[in-house]
Amino acid sequence: MTLRNRVIEYLDDRTVIDLATAGPAGLWIAAVMYVHDDLSLYFTSVSSTRHGVNIESTHHVAGAITDECRTWMEMRGLQFDGTVERVDDPAELRRVVASYLAKYPFACGLWNGEQDPEVIARDVGVHTFYKITPGKLLFTDNQHAPSGREELALG
């Protein structure tokens, strides 16, 4: 299996990014739930939070998606940095909302129980959707590659 396919399979099976930001609100890290389309990562958050203020100002993030482990050989995870932008395109927003609700059905509570991606995409309220485009992505899988992290060529 190629490195890209292993990374995508890993993304499929996880739910949370530890997202690091820096900017006018200071250095901060926040856990956000995500969906992905290939290597693009999408999450929803409130722009007035510390990480939201930083994102809106710098449009740059770093993050990690990791597994809990008890031994070095069990270590697996992704580290990345990249650009982050609001999802404003209506078609992309509908697709992302649908994907998000399919993975996290309880998230409809963010929109007062609304479950229709079309309705939510017309008015996301305070829960902005963001897209991360990785600039650099490193994958650690000590069972597969115990010699170190592998860098996935992007672009």
Q: Which amino acid is at 84?
A: V
- pLDDT (tens digit per residue) in 75-132: 999 999 999 999 999 999 999 999 999 999 999 999 999 999 999 999 999 999 999 9
Asked if residue 83 lies in contact with residue 132, where contact means CB atoms within 8 angstroms, the answer is: yes
> Under CATH, what is the fold of the domain 3-86+126-152?
Pnp Oxidase; Chain A (2.30.110)
Q: What is the DSSP string of 62-91?
A: EEEEE---SSGGG-EEEEEEEEEEE---HH
The HSE-up count of residue 27 (CA atoms within 13 Å, CB side) is 0
Q: Can you tell me the distance from the alpha carbon of 6 to that of 3, in angstroms, rounded to the nearest whole number? A: 5
Confidence of residue 145 (pLDDT cuts 50, 70, 90): confident
For the ranges 2-11, 30-39, 142-151, the lowest mean pLDDT is seen at 142-151
- pLDDT (tens digit per residue) in 29-77: 999 999 999 999 999 999 999 999 999 999 999 999 999 999 988 899 9
